[in-house]
Amino acid sequence: MSMHETAPSQFVQVGDAEVAYRRFGRRGAPPLLLLNYFAANMDDWDPKITNGFAAVRDVIILDYPGIGLSSGTTPSTVAAMTRDFACFYRALDLTGFDIIGFSLGGMIAQQLAFEFPDMVRRIILLGTGPRGGEGMTFTELSVDELDDPESLVMLAFFTPSEASKAAGRAYLERLKLRAADRDERVTRHAAIAQLEAIREWGAIPSENRFAVLGNIRQPTLIVHGNKDVVVMPINAFLLAEHLPNAQLIMYPDASHGAQSQHAEIFLEHARLFLSN
Amino acid sequence: MSMHETAPSQFVQVGDAEVAYRRFGRRGAPPLLLLNYFAANMDDWDPKITNGFAAVRDVIILDYPGIGLSSGTTPSTVAAMTRDFACFYRALDLTGFDIIGFSLGGMIAQQLAFEFPDMVRRIILLGTGPRGGEGMTFTELSVDELDDPESLVMLAFFTPSEASKAAGRAYLERLKLRAADRDERVTRHAAIAQLEAIREWGAIPSENRFAVLGNIRQPTLIVHGNKDVVVMPINAFLLAEHLPNAQLIMYPDASHGAQSQHAEIFLEHARLFLSN
């Protein structure tokens, strides 16, 4: 069975872009699509998580248009990214799939469930927040921080505790497990467009702040770190309050990389959720 | 194996009181002690939950002094209830146990972990909040509401949705499964003392509001309904934020009886937590 480390990068034509993706795990099981975070390419998924799911599911990861190995242009709104993603799964002829969206990917997952409610079966939202959430315009974040990606991961994904820092170092080592057919680094230009999209998503609307959430009927699992310094934990609570059918799980001493720090229990929780 | 429906009521001398308890399930497994909510006796535990745990654990439920079949006086502070409870488990010679505290019982569980940190292994907090939490002085609650207990359960433990109301009716039926050796109803006098204790716990201190939580080192699982009308869901979030080692799980469309409405998944989550 192919895995995170060995699955070949493949390409599919989506509009003007050749979109890169990798597909591995248990073919025939319902597809599980993973939507990535800000300035991340396919190599930035934690193999412990992707392989954990691949043991029981047909896992698909991708580079959004303009990111990593994908050609094309990175749009500057979540809505446009969502339309790109809809073209991607149509090009692969996928239906009845589940989605895991991490941070920016969780925004796209929400928008997808809202615009194309019949396509998605179940949703897992990792370290993300609702449109117009709390502190989600990221005014202090700059693409300059991407110049030292390992430092950024340690600061943003893990807490200052010894246990969390050790989990962070192990995580960084796991990201190197895939040796051949590596992805391309995300360009500054693409990161700037993604940041613009995130900020537009995070702006608080003048009315009906969380109205969209009431229309997302899919069973949803929200997973968050209780010390997330990127997307404040209160955003997970707001999602749980306003989504009609969402379970929230929050892990201790964990920041934006909560699902990697607590990977064993997260995989148990996610499998329970996906199989019920 | 004895179960919720058949376990005999037993008694143990605790200070001046004869404390009633029932013990059932898998003897030899680590004891699991269940601490009850406001104005509840042993018959008010959901058999689906107690028997779910009893399949794998040595389950002990009790009536606090002055409640139900227990003689003695109900104290009017959580601290005094906690000392009573410490005398109870010493009288039964219990060590290295886990605790599930529901609402008022969760307050006692926190106080116990703070005052007697070596006694408790793991803690599950159901529908409860920290000392000085949000909206926890229950100014609208009156013991008069206890005159119609089934209505109170439907209003307080379940939401107005059809799914939740159906779960509520099933829950009320389950409470009748135990036919013989029923408990005694909680007196108005005892309920008034418990309400006073809850209100004292809920008063917001002038400083160091959540300082106690930093000292509770036990692995803790917080379980709450996202629409709890008794203990507002934000209190579960505050616990998860301030306890050093707590996992939070919040269930959808659920009020104060979240763990009964979502009993199957709650039992899975609790067993995962207790066995890790």
CA distance B144 to B142: 5
Please give the structure tokens belonging to residue A189.
């230009």
Taking the CB of residue A81, how many other CB atoms lie within 10 A of it? 26
Q: What is the pLDDT of residues B185-217, one digit of tens each?
A: 999 999 999 999 999 999 999 999 999 999 999
Q: In sequence order, what are the beta bridge partners of B27?
A: B29
Coil, helix or strand at residue A206? coil
Question: For residue A246, what are the CA distances in angstroms to A71, A219, A240, B42, B110?
Answer: 35, 6, 6, 31, 27
Is the pLDDT reported for residue B231 higher than 80? yes
CA distance A162 to A247: 29
Is the pLDDT reported for residue A145 higher than 90? no
CA distance B224 to B172: 20
Strands (E), B16-82: 17-25, 31-35, 58-62
Q: What is the pLDDT of residues B247-261, one digit of tens each?
A: 999 999 999 999 999
Whether residues B249 and A249 touch (CB distance < 8 A) is answered with yes
Architecture category of domain A10-275 in CATH = 3-Layer(aba) Sandwich (3.40)
Prediction pTM value = 0.96
Q: What is the pLDDT of residues A198-218, one digit of tens each?
A: 999 999 999 999 999 999 999
CA distance B71 to B11: 10
CA A202 to chain centre: 16
Q: Provide Rg for chain A, Cα atoms.
A: 17
B238 at interface of A, judged by CB pairs closer than 8 A: no
Q: Mean pLDDT check: name the lowest of A248-252, B104-108, B136-140.
A: B136-140
B177 at interface of A, judged by CB pairs closer than 8 A: no
Element (H, E) at A78: helix A78-91
Chain A residue numbers with beta carbons less than 8 Å from the beta carbon of B244 are 252-253
Q: How near does any CA of chain B get to the CA of A79, in Å? A: 27
Is the backbone of residue B163 left (phi > 0), alpha (psi -120 to 50) or beta?
A: alpha
Scanning A116-262, the segments in alpha helix (DSSP H) are 149-157, 162-174, 188-202, 234-242, 258-261
Is the pLDDT reported for residue B140 higher than 90? no
- Measuring CA to CA, which residue among A80, A72, A125, A137 is closest to residue A100? A125
Q: What percent of chain A lies above the pLDDT cut of 70?
A: 100
Please give the structure tokens belonging to residue B148.
């119609």
Q: What is the pLDDT of residues A61-102, one digit of tens each?
A: 999 999 999 999 999 999 999 999 999 999 999 988 999 999
Is the pLDDT reported for residue A156 higher than 80? yes
- CB burial string B211-227: b at 16+ within 10 A, e below: ebbeebebbbbbbbbbb
Taking the CB of residue B97, how many other CB atoms lie within 10 A of it? 18
How wide is the angle at C-alpha B39 spanned by C-alphas B38 and B44, nearest 5°?
95
CA distance A108 to A100: 10
CA distance B6 to B23: 10
pLDDT of residue A2: 84
> By the 8 A CB rule, do B125 and B237 touch?
no
Q: Which of B250, B253, B264 is the closest to A248 by Cβ?
A: B250
Is the pLDDT reported for residue B94 higher than 90? yes
Q: Which of B246, B253, B268 is the closest to A252 by Cβ?
A: B246
A232 at interface of B, judged by CB pairs closer than 8 A: no
Please give the structure tokens belonging to residue A105.
């990917």
Q: What is the pLDDT of residues B8-35, one digit of tens each?
A: 999 999 999 999 999 999 999 999 999 9
- Measuring CA to CA, which residue among A224, A260, A225, A6 is closest to residue A124? A224
Chain B residue numbers with beta carbons less than 8 Å from the beta carbon of A249 are 247-250
Q: What residue segments make up the domains of chain A, in order of their start?
A: 10-275
Q: What is the pLDDT of residues B150-171, one digit of tens each?
A: 999 999 999 999 999 999 999 9
pLDDT of residue A95: 87
Q: Model ipTM?
A: 0.95
Scanning A205-245, the segments in alpha helix (DSSP H) are 234-242
> By the 8 A CB rule, do B127 and B192 touch?
no
Q: How near does any CA of chain A get to the CA of B48, in Å? A: 18
Query: Averaged over A149-170, what is the pLDDT?
Result: 97
> By the 8 A CB rule, do A44 and A53 touch?
no
Q: How many helices (H) and strands (E) does chain A have?
A: 9, 8
CA distance A185 to A196: 19
From the number of C-beta atoms within 10 Å of its C-beta (0-12, 13-18, 19+), residue A149 rates as middle
Chain A residue numbers with beta carbons less than 8 Å from the beta carbon of B251 are 247
CA distance A33 to B207: 47
Question: For residue A172, what are the CA distances in angstroms to A2, A43, A158, A176, B139?
Answer: 22, 11, 11, 7, 51
Selected for mutation to probe chain B from A223, A226, A255 (highest B CB count within 10 Å) is A226
Q: What is the pLDDT of residues B141-152, one digit of tens each?
A: 888 888 899 999
A238 at interface of B, judged by CB pairs closer than 8 A: no
